[in-house]
Amino acid sequence: MNDEPARRTADRGVASVAVLTAKQTSRSFWRWFEEHHIDSLLVIIVTLYLTIEVVTWALWFPTEMETKLTGFDRAAILGAVLTPWGIMQGLMFKFYVDLKGKNGPQSPQPGATT
pLDDT in tens, 34-93: 777 787 788 889 889 999 999 999 888 888 876 777 888 888 888 999 999 999 999 988
Is residue 9 pLDDT above 90, yes or no?
no
Phi, psi of 81 (to 5 degrees): -90, -45
User: Which pLDDT value is given to residue 101?
Assistant: 77
The answer, yes or no, to whether residue 7 has pLDDT greater than 70, is no
Query: Which of the pair, 100 or 98, is modelled with greater confidence?
Result: 98
pLDDT of residue 52: 94
Tens digit of each residue's pLDDT (9 = 90 or more) over 30-46: 787 777 778 778 888 98
